[in-house]
Amino acid sequence: MTKKLLILLFFLGSFLLHAQNLVWKTTMTDAVAAGMEQKKPLLIYFTIEGAPQKIQTEIFNTPDFAVWSRDNVILVKLDLSDPKISDAEREQNVKLKGAFGVDELPQVCFTIGSVRREKTTFNLLGKLPYRPGGAIPWLKQSNLILNPEQ
């Protein structure tokens, strides 16, 4: 009995650790290509150094979010204060932030990106800031943005 319980706990533990291993794209080129290939919208997380971390700790770092994001979106993190990105990439990200009407950081935008004739276009589906209450209510709001007809 103890051996079976330990095996069960091992599998559940490894699942939860794997579920929280999120892969965030950091360039729009890679994200749009992945979105088109997988036929998924982009979840763009706009942030900056010093921004509140509640959305990460209470939503992004949960198993519920990990499972949901794997099935529904391509994760994109655009840190506008990242010193490792080029000035051109930073400028592109700031322009994108303005085009989506993001005025507060951190904030999440849902969009569909596509490339036609070497020109990238975006269809903004909606924006969602941090809301207290945990991952489940936040994911319900995300689903309403991604599937407005339901």
The 3-class SS string of 63-93 reads: HHHHHHHHHHCEEEEEECCCCCCCHHHHHHH
Q: Region 1-11: what's the mean pLDDT? A: 49
Tens digit of pLDDT for each residue in 95-125? Answer: 999 999 999 999 999 999 999 888 999 999 9
pTM value is 0.83
Confidence of residue 126 (pLDDT cuts 50, 70, 90): very high
- Identify whether the C-beta of residue 114 lies closer than 8 Å to the C-beta of residue 32: yes
Confidence of residue 11 (pLDDT cuts 50, 70, 90): very low
Query: Where exactly are the structural domains of the chain?
Result: 22-146
As its CATH architecture, domain 22-146 has 3-Layer(aba) Sandwich (3.40)
